[in-house]
């Protein structure tokens, strides 16, 4: 699937965001190796701390459906600027697509493709636990 198409799906997912506190809506579209796409949005909570980011919503949906291998993820935000994933999401994405790509989109500057390894240098993985 083309990056442009995945960004459009992330924008659709963003419309479903539950973000009454920050008003910052985020959408993610995660492409699995089998071609399936899992969408996610941020789901905020009055406690703030229980908020779930869009990227982790998408990953959790996929894993809970038995899909574990992914190619890439597109992430967009309602600000129209690049939506750099937070540190926790980088770590979670690194668990499941360490060799994958992250596609970001800006209304002004267009698409930017980054590898997870660029976003999380020297990232920690299960195989490091010895």
Which of 5, 12, 55, 65 is catalytic? The answer is: 55
54 binds ligand THU (CB under 6 A): yes
Residue with structure tokens 């659709």?
12
Residues in the chain: 130
Footprint (CB under 6 A) of ligand THU, residues 104-123: none
19 binds ligand THU (CB under 6 A): yes
85 binds ligand THU (CB under 6 A): yes
10 Å CB burial of residue 66 (0-12, 13-18, 19+) is exposed
d(CA 28, CA 124): 23
Residue with structure tokens 């976003």?
119
30 binds ligand THU (CB under 6 A): no
Residue 73, strand partner residues: 30, 102
Instruction: Judge whether 55 counts as a catalytic residue.
Output: yes
44 binds ligand THU (CB under 6 A): yes
Catalytic positions: 55
Site residues for ligand THU per CB under 6 A: 19, 22, 24, 26, 42, 44, 51, 53-55, 85-86, 89
């Amino acid at each position: 699937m083309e990056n442009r198409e995945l960004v459009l799906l992330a924008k659709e997912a963003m419309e479903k965001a539950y973000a009454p506190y920050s008003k910052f809506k985020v959408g993610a579209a995660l492409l699995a190796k089998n071609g399936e796409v899992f969408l996610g949005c941020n789901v905020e909570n009055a406690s703030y701390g229980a908020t779930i980011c869009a990227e982790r919503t998408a990953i959790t949906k996929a894993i809970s459906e038995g899909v574990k291998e992914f190619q890439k993820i597109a992430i967009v935000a309602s600000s129209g600027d690049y939506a750099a994933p937070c540190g926790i999401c980088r770590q979670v994405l690194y668990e499941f697509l360490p060799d994958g790509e992250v596609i970001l989109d800006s209304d002004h500057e267009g698409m930017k493709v980054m590898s997870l390894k660029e976003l999380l240098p020297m990232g920690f993985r299960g195989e490091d636990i010895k």
